Amino acid sequence: MAKPRVFVARRIPDAGLNLITAACDAEVWPEQLPPSPEVLRQKVRDCDGLVSLLTDKVDTELLAAAPKLKVVSNFAVGVNNIDLPAATARKIPVGNTPGVLTEATADIAVTLLLAAARRLGESATDAKEGRWKTWEPLGWLGCDLVGRTLGIVGMGRIGFATAKRLHHGWGMKVLYTARNPKPEADAELKARHVDLDTLLAEVDFVSVHADLNPTTKGMFGEKEFAKMKRTVVFVNTARGPHVNQSALANALRTGTIFAAGLDVTDPEPLPPDHELYALPNCVIAPHIASATVDTRNAMATMCAQNLLAGVQGRPLPNCVNP
Protein backbone atom coordinates (compact mmCIF):
# COMPACT_ATOMS: atom_id res chain seq x y z
CA MET A 1 0.00 0.00 0.00
CA ALA A 2 1.27 3.49 -0.86
CA LYS A 3 2.54 5.52 2.06
CA PRO A 4 0.55 8.64 2.98
CA ARG A 5 1.92 11.83 1.45
CA VAL A 6 2.75 14.58 3.87
CA PHE A 7 4.34 18.01 3.73
CA VAL A 8 6.45 19.19 6.66
CA ALA A 9 6.67 22.97 6.46
CA ARG A 10 10.13 23.21 8.07
CA ARG A 11 12.84 20.90 9.30
CA ILE A 12 11.83 19.82 12.83
CA PRO A 13 14.00 17.80 15.25
CA ASP A 14 14.84 14.25 14.17
CA ALA A 15 13.01 12.88 17.22
CA GLY A 16 9.79 13.56 15.31
CA LEU A 17 11.01 13.79 11.75
CA ASN A 18 12.35 10.22 11.76
CA LEU A 19 8.94 8.90 12.85
CA ILE A 20 7.33 10.81 9.99
CA THR A 21 9.77 9.79 7.26
CA ALA A 22 9.62 6.12 8.34
CA ALA A 23 5.84 5.98 7.89
CA CYS A 24 5.12 8.55 5.19
CA ASP A 25 6.17 9.77 1.80
CA ALA A 26 7.33 13.06 3.27
CA GLU A 27 8.56 16.26 1.71
CA VAL A 28 10.35 18.53 4.16
CA TRP A 29 10.70 22.25 3.37
CA PRO A 30 14.47 22.75 3.51
CA GLU A 31 14.72 26.55 3.84
CA GLN A 32 15.26 28.64 6.96
CA LEU A 33 12.29 30.87 6.06
CA PRO A 34 8.78 29.44 5.75
CA PRO A 35 7.20 28.66 2.37
CA SER A 36 5.06 31.48 0.98
CA PRO A 37 1.28 30.90 1.07
CA GLU A 38 1.33 30.19 -2.68
CA VAL A 39 4.09 27.62 -2.36
CA LEU A 40 2.39 26.04 0.66
CA ARG A 41 -0.85 25.72 -1.31
CA GLN A 42 1.01 24.02 -4.11
CA LYS A 43 2.89 21.70 -1.76
CA VAL A 44 -0.23 20.38 0.00
CA ARG A 45 -2.14 19.72 -3.21
CA ASP A 46 -1.79 15.92 -3.08
CA CYS A 47 -1.10 15.59 0.62
CA ASP A 48 -2.87 13.52 3.27
CA GLY A 49 -1.14 15.36 6.08
CA LEU A 50 0.50 18.68 6.85
CA VAL A 51 2.93 19.66 9.60
CA SER A 52 2.51 23.41 10.02
CA LEU A 53 4.33 25.93 12.20
CA LEU A 54 3.04 29.09 13.79
CA THR A 55 4.47 30.95 10.77
CA ASP A 56 2.20 29.07 8.34
CA LYS A 57 -1.30 30.33 7.81
CA VAL A 58 -3.72 27.44 7.48
CA ASP A 59 -6.80 29.21 6.16
CA THR A 60 -9.74 28.38 3.91
CA GLU A 61 -7.66 28.98 0.79
CA LEU A 62 -5.02 26.53 1.88
CA LEU A 63 -7.58 23.94 2.91
CA ALA A 64 -9.38 24.35 -0.43
CA ALA A 65 -6.10 23.65 -2.21
CA ALA A 66 -5.72 20.33 -0.36
CA PRO A 67 -8.74 18.17 -1.19
CA LYS A 68 -7.20 14.97 0.27
CA LEU A 69 -5.99 16.52 3.53
CA LYS A 70 -6.82 14.34 6.56
CA VAL A 71 -4.87 16.10 9.30
CA VAL A 72 -3.03 19.30 10.22
CA SER A 73 -0.42 18.80 12.93
CA ASN A 74 0.82 22.11 14.31
CA PHE A 75 4.34 22.17 15.74
CA ALA A 76 3.21 24.44 18.60
CA VAL A 77 0.72 24.55 21.42
CA GLY A 78 -0.85 27.75 20.08
CA VAL A 79 -3.06 27.28 17.03
CA ASN A 80 -3.95 30.89 16.17
CA ASN A 81 -2.31 30.40 12.75
CA ILE A 82 -5.07 27.92 11.87
CA ASP A 83 -8.66 28.67 10.90
CA LEU A 84 -10.15 26.07 13.24
CA PRO A 85 -13.80 26.47 12.19
CA ALA A 86 -12.75 25.96 8.55
CA ALA A 87 -10.74 22.83 9.40
CA THR A 88 -13.59 21.50 11.53
CA ALA A 89 -16.10 22.15 8.73
CA ARG A 90 -13.91 19.97 6.52
CA LYS A 91 -13.69 17.37 9.35
CA ILE A 92 -9.92 17.81 9.41
CA PRO A 93 -8.53 17.23 12.92
CA VAL A 94 -5.92 19.72 14.08
CA GLY A 95 -3.20 18.58 16.47
CA ASN A 96 -1.03 20.66 18.79
CA THR A 97 1.70 20.07 21.39
CA PRO A 98 0.35 20.94 24.86
CA GLY A 99 2.16 20.24 28.10
CA VAL A 100 5.66 19.61 26.79
CA LEU A 101 6.64 23.27 26.49
CA THR A 102 5.06 24.46 29.73
CA GLU A 103 8.22 24.48 31.86
CA ALA A 104 10.51 25.98 29.21
CA THR A 105 8.00 28.76 28.53
CA ALA A 106 7.53 29.50 32.23
CA ASP A 107 11.34 29.72 32.53
CA ILE A 108 11.43 32.40 29.82
CA ALA A 109 8.56 34.33 31.42
CA VAL A 110 10.57 34.47 34.66
CA THR A 111 13.79 35.26 32.77
CA LEU A 112 12.18 38.21 31.01
CA LEU A 113 10.52 39.39 34.21
CA LEU A 114 13.88 39.40 36.02
CA ALA A 115 15.74 40.92 33.07
CA ALA A 116 13.23 43.75 32.75
CA ALA A 117 12.92 44.33 36.52
CA ARG A 118 16.71 44.43 36.99
CA ARG A 119 17.42 46.37 33.77
CA LEU A 120 19.66 43.61 32.47
CA GLY A 121 19.30 44.37 28.77
CA GLU A 122 20.05 48.04 29.24
CA SER A 123 22.94 47.60 31.69
CA ALA A 124 24.59 44.78 29.69
CA THR A 125 24.44 46.95 26.55
CA ASP A 126 25.88 49.89 28.47
CA ALA A 127 28.74 47.71 29.75
CA LYS A 128 29.50 46.37 26.27
CA GLU A 129 29.37 49.80 24.67
CA GLY A 130 31.70 51.54 27.13
CA ARG A 131 29.17 53.35 29.31
CA TRP A 132 30.20 51.42 32.46
CA LYS A 133 32.47 54.04 34.02
CA THR A 134 32.44 52.99 37.66
CA TRP A 135 30.30 51.31 40.32
CA GLU A 136 27.38 53.70 40.55
CA PRO A 137 25.29 54.07 43.71
CA LEU A 138 22.43 55.38 41.61
CA GLY A 139 23.08 53.50 38.39
CA TRP A 140 20.72 50.96 36.79
CA LEU A 141 18.39 50.76 39.77
CA GLY A 142 15.69 48.16 39.25
CA CYS A 143 12.89 46.73 41.34
CA ASP A 144 12.74 43.90 43.85
CA LEU A 145 10.58 40.83 43.45
CA VAL A 146 10.41 39.43 46.97
CA GLY A 147 7.00 39.77 48.57
CA ARG A 148 5.53 41.69 45.61
CA THR A 149 2.30 40.86 43.81
CA LEU A 150 2.18 38.99 40.52
CA GLY A 151 -0.72 39.19 38.07
CA ILE A 152 -1.15 36.19 35.79
CA VAL A 153 -3.42 36.87 32.83
CA GLY A 154 -4.61 33.43 31.74
CA MET A 155 -4.06 30.78 34.43
CA GLY A 156 -3.60 27.77 32.14
CA ARG A 157 -0.68 25.35 32.36
CA ILE A 158 1.98 27.95 31.54
CA GLY A 159 0.48 30.67 33.71
CA PHE A 160 0.35 28.25 36.64
CA ALA A 161 3.95 27.08 36.10
CA THR A 162 5.12 30.72 35.99
CA ALA A 163 3.16 31.60 39.13
CA LYS A 164 4.59 28.59 40.99
CA ARG A 165 8.16 29.68 40.24
CA LEU A 166 7.54 33.24 41.43
CA HIS A 167 5.43 32.30 44.46
CA HIS A 168 7.69 29.54 45.77
CA GLY A 169 10.95 31.23 44.72
CA TRP A 170 10.28 34.87 45.56
CA GLY A 171 7.29 34.69 47.89
CA MET A 172 5.06 36.61 45.51
CA LYS A 173 1.35 36.91 46.11
CA VAL A 174 -0.60 35.83 43.04
CA LEU A 175 -3.71 37.33 41.46
CA TYR A 176 -5.01 35.89 38.21
CA THR A 177 -7.64 36.15 35.55
CA ALA A 178 -9.03 33.08 33.83
CA ARG A 179 -12.32 31.95 32.32
CA ASN A 180 -12.84 29.86 35.48
CA PRO A 181 -11.12 29.79 38.88
CA LYS A 182 -8.25 27.31 39.09
CA PRO A 183 -8.64 25.45 42.41
CA GLU A 184 -5.07 24.02 42.26
CA ALA A 185 -3.66 27.56 42.05
CA ASP A 186 -5.92 28.79 44.84
CA ALA A 187 -4.84 25.88 47.06
CA GLU A 188 -1.12 25.73 46.29
CA LEU A 189 -0.39 29.44 45.85
CA LYS A 190 -3.24 31.01 47.79
CA ALA A 191 -3.91 32.72 44.47
CA ARG A 192 -6.94 34.99 43.99
CA HIS A 193 -9.16 34.81 40.90
CA VAL A 194 -10.06 38.41 40.05
CA ASP A 195 -11.29 40.50 37.13
CA LEU A 196 -8.79 42.23 34.88
CA ASP A 197 -9.36 45.71 36.32
CA THR A 198 -8.64 44.51 39.86
CA LEU A 199 -5.53 42.71 38.67
CA LEU A 200 -4.23 45.75 36.76
CA ALA A 201 -4.75 48.04 39.73
CA GLU A 202 -3.17 45.80 42.38
CA VAL A 203 -0.18 43.97 40.92
CA ASP A 204 3.51 44.82 40.53
CA PHE A 205 4.16 42.38 37.69
CA VAL A 206 1.84 41.38 34.84
CA SER A 207 2.58 38.16 32.95
CA VAL A 208 0.41 37.32 29.94
CA HIS A 209 -0.46 33.69 29.19
CA ALA A 210 -3.93 33.90 27.62
CA ASP A 211 -4.85 32.27 24.29
CA LEU A 212 -5.03 34.60 21.36
CA ASN A 213 -8.61 34.82 20.15
CA PRO A 214 -10.96 37.63 19.10
CA THR A 215 -11.70 38.48 22.75
CA THR A 216 -8.05 38.72 23.84
CA LYS A 217 -6.61 40.39 20.72
CA GLY A 218 -5.49 43.92 21.63
CA MET A 219 -6.48 43.42 25.28
CA PHE A 220 -3.54 45.56 26.45
CA GLY A 221 -3.87 49.11 25.14
CA GLU A 222 -3.55 52.66 26.41
CA LYS A 223 -6.41 52.26 28.93
CA GLU A 224 -4.99 49.07 30.44
CA PHE A 225 -1.45 50.45 30.78
CA ALA A 226 -2.89 53.57 32.44
CA LYS A 227 -4.61 51.37 35.05
CA MET A 228 -1.31 49.75 36.08
CA LYS A 229 1.02 51.05 38.79
CA ARG A 230 3.87 53.16 37.42
CA THR A 231 6.30 50.57 38.79
CA VAL A 232 4.82 47.64 36.86
CA VAL A 233 6.91 45.22 34.84
CA PHE A 234 4.89 43.80 31.94
CA VAL A 235 5.81 40.41 30.42
CA ASN A 236 4.32 38.74 27.37
CA THR A 237 5.23 35.19 26.36
CA ALA A 238 1.84 34.40 24.79
CA ARG A 239 1.23 36.10 21.44
CA GLY A 240 2.18 39.55 20.13
CA PRO A 241 -1.30 40.66 19.04
CA HIS A 242 -2.52 40.65 22.66
CA VAL A 243 -0.77 44.00 22.93
CA ASN A 244 -1.21 47.31 21.17
CA GLN A 245 2.49 47.92 20.67
CA SER A 246 2.34 51.68 20.13
CA ALA A 247 0.42 51.97 23.41
CA LEU A 248 3.08 49.84 25.09
CA ALA A 249 5.91 51.90 23.61
CA ASN A 250 4.21 55.06 24.80
CA ALA A 251 3.67 53.65 28.30
CA LEU A 252 7.35 52.70 28.50
CA ARG A 253 8.56 56.03 27.12
CA THR A 254 6.42 58.16 29.41
CA GLY A 255 7.01 56.11 32.58
CA THR A 256 3.38 54.97 32.76
CA ILE A 257 4.93 51.56 33.51
CA PHE A 258 8.49 50.68 34.52
CA ALA A 259 9.61 48.07 32.00
CA ALA A 260 8.58 45.26 29.68
CA GLY A 261 9.92 41.86 28.64
CA LEU A 262 8.57 40.38 25.43
CA ASP A 263 9.13 37.01 23.82
CA VAL A 264 6.41 37.65 21.25
CA THR A 265 5.67 40.65 19.06
CA ASP A 266 3.44 41.63 16.17
CA PRO A 267 4.74 41.15 13.55
CA GLU A 268 7.39 38.51 14.02
CA PRO A 269 10.15 39.19 13.40
CA LEU A 270 9.81 42.74 14.68
CA PRO A 271 11.64 45.01 12.19
CA PRO A 272 15.00 46.14 13.65
CA ASP A 273 13.99 49.80 13.36
CA HIS A 274 10.84 49.29 15.49
CA GLU A 275 10.37 51.90 18.22
CA LEU A 276 10.29 49.21 20.97
CA TYR A 277 13.93 48.30 20.31
CA ALA A 278 14.98 51.88 20.95
CA LEU A 279 13.51 51.85 24.46
CA PRO A 280 16.07 50.90 27.12
CA ASN A 281 13.33 49.57 29.41
CA CYS A 282 12.09 46.98 26.91
CA VAL A 283 13.78 43.56 26.59
CA ILE A 284 12.81 41.64 23.47
CA ALA A 285 13.59 37.98 22.73
CA PRO A 286 12.90 36.38 19.34
CA HIS A 287 10.07 34.00 20.38
CA ILE A 288 12.40 31.52 22.09
CA ALA A 289 10.20 30.32 24.96
CA SER A 290 10.09 26.69 23.79
CA ALA A 291 13.64 26.74 22.42
CA THR A 292 15.40 24.07 24.47
CA VAL A 293 16.71 20.82 23.01
CA ASP A 294 14.50 18.60 25.17
CA THR A 295 11.38 20.69 24.67
CA ARG A 296 11.71 20.87 20.89
CA ASN A 297 12.38 17.11 20.75
CA ALA A 298 9.24 16.46 22.80
CA MET A 299 7.23 18.83 20.58
CA ALA A 300 8.51 17.07 17.47
CA THR A 301 7.58 13.64 18.82
CA MET A 302 4.10 14.78 19.80
CA CYS A 303 3.63 16.53 16.48
CA ALA A 304 4.65 13.36 14.60
CA GLN A 305 2.28 11.24 16.69
CA ASN A 306 -0.60 13.57 15.85
CA LEU A 307 0.28 13.53 12.16
CA LEU A 308 0.59 9.75 11.95
CA ALA A 309 -2.66 9.18 13.82
CA GLY A 310 -4.44 11.54 11.41
CA VAL A 311 -3.11 10.03 8.19
CA GLN A 312 -3.85 6.54 9.52
CA GLY A 313 -7.43 7.47 10.43
CA ARG A 314 -6.96 7.18 14.22
CA PRO A 315 -7.97 9.86 16.78
CA LEU A 316 -5.13 12.32 17.38
CA PRO A 317 -3.47 12.04 20.81
CA ASN A 318 -3.78 15.85 21.09
CA CYS A 319 -6.57 17.31 19.04
CA VAL A 320 -7.88 20.88 19.42
CA ASN A 321 -11.09 20.36 17.42
CA PRO A 322 -12.36 16.93 18.55
Binding site for ligand DGY (CB under 6 A): 54, 76-78, 101, 290
User: Alpha helix locations (H) across the chain?
Assistant: 14-23, 37-43, 60-64, 84-89, 102-117, 120-128, 157-170, 183-189, 196-202, 222-227, 245-253, 293-311
Known active-site residue 274: no
Q: How far apart are CA 109 and CA 153, in angstroms?
A: 12
* 277 in Cβ contact with 15 (< 8 Å): no
Q: Are 62 and 288 in contact (CB under 8 A)?
A: no
Return the number of the residue (97 or 245) whose C-beta is nearest ligand DGY: 97
Q: Active-site residue 136, yes or no? A: no
Q: How far is the CB of 27 from ligand DGY (least distance, A)?
A: 23
Separation between Cα atoms, residue 47 and residue 62, nearest integer Å: 12
CB of residue 137 to ligand DGY, shortest distance in Å: 41
Q: Could you say which of 209, 239, 242, 296 is catalytic?
A: 239
Closest to ligand DGY by CB, 78 or 142: 78
Least distance from C-beta 90 to ligand DGY, angstroms?
23
| Active-site residue (options: 31, 38, 184, 268) | 268
Check if 202 is active-site. no
**51 or 203: CB nearest ligand DGY:** 51
Q: Sign of torsion, CA 221 224 225 226?
A: positive
Q: How far is the CB of 123 from ligand DGY (least distance, A)?
A: 28
The residues, ordered by sequence, that sit 6+ positions from 166 with a Cβ below 8 Å of its Cβ are 110, 113, 145, 150, 172, 174, 205
- In this complex, which beta carbon is closest to ligand DGY, that of residue 40 or of residue 108? 108
Catalytic residues: 239, 268, 287
